[in-house]
């Protein structure tokens, strides 16, 4: 009688373990749903549905089997990054297109101009005078404005000018960006 009572208990324990480890035929696991939404969201919608697939896949990591949930987490994470990058690009384009008076473009342009000015100032401190036109151009030859054009150095009698010709590449137009440095001691 002891043997008979032990056998049914052993069968019920193994059947419990088996049902936890596998899903029934015809059922779709939460991990599979998350993986499918992540892949579709990343590939077909440029990442729009990827965060949803990522969240479902993260929830599915609590349940067995893990394989599809892990695929969903990885794909959903990559798709979410794609969505973030595309969103940032659209937002940055909107900001630049909305910059009707050019202030944002000029602000962004100042960095290479200031670097050029710093190089000229280092030369001045080392040599006790400003560089000639040719020496100044050599100092800043590898600096370019945001439109890929070379930055110009123009020595003046009492200072210098660092100049970007702007997107049109034409001198003395409204989109030129300048950095002017004048000596403090004026006769």
β 177-182/152-156 pair status: unpaired
Q: How far apart are CA 39 and CA 52, in angstroms?
A: 11
Would 77 be classed as within a structural domain? yes
Residue-wise pLDDT tens digits, 122-175: 999 999 999 999 999 999 999 998 888 889 999 998 899 999 888 888 888 888
More confident residue, 78 or 104: 78
Would 187 be classed as within a structural domain? no
For the CA atoms of 44, 49, 51, 57, what is the dihedral angle to 10 degrees?
Answer: -80
Residue-wise pLDDT tens digits, 16-25: 444 344 455 6
Clarify whether residues 88 and 125 are in a common domain.
no
Domain carrying residue 172: 103-182
Clarify whether residues 87 and 31 are in a common domain.
yes
Which of these, 113, 107, 121, lies nearest to 162 by C-alpha position? 113
| pLDDT the model gives residue 100 | 60
What is residue 181's three-state secondary structure? strand
Tokens of 110: 């100042």
Average pLDDT of span 64-91: 88
More confident residue, 72 or 20: 72
State the pTM of this model: 0.41
Clarify whether residues 160 and 91 are in a common domain.
no
Residue 14: band (very low, low, confident or very high) from pLDDT cuts 50, 70, 90: very low
**Who contacts 12 (Cβ-Cβ below 8 Å, separation ≥6)?**
none
Q: How many domains does the chain have?
A: 2
CATH number at residue 119: 3.30.700.10
Residue-wise pLDDT tens digits, 160-169: 999 988 888 8
């Amino acid at each position: 009688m002891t043997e008979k009572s032990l056998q049914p208990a052993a069968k019920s324990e193994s059947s419990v373990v088996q049902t936890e480890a596998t899903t029934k035929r015809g059922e779709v696991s939460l991990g599979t749903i998350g993986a499918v939404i992540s892949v579709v969201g990343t590939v077909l919608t440029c990442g729009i549905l990827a965060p949803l697939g990522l969240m479902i896949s993260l929830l599915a990591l609590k349940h067995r089997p893990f394989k599809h949930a892990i695929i969903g987490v990885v794909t959903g994470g990559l798709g979410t990054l794609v969505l973030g990058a595309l969103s940032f690009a659209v937002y940055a384009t909107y900001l630049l297109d909305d910059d009707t008076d050019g202030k944002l473009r000029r602000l962004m342009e100042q960095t290479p101009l200031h670097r050029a000015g710093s190089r000229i100032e280092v030369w001045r401190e080392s040599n006790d005078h400003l560089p000639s036109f040719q020496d100044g151009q050599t100092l800043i030859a590898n600096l370019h404005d945001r439109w890929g054009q070379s930055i110009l150095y123009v020595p003046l009698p009492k200072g210098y000018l660092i100049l970007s010709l702007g997107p049109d590449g034409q001198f003395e137009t409204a989109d030129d960006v300048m950095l002017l440095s004048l000596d403090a001691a004026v006769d």
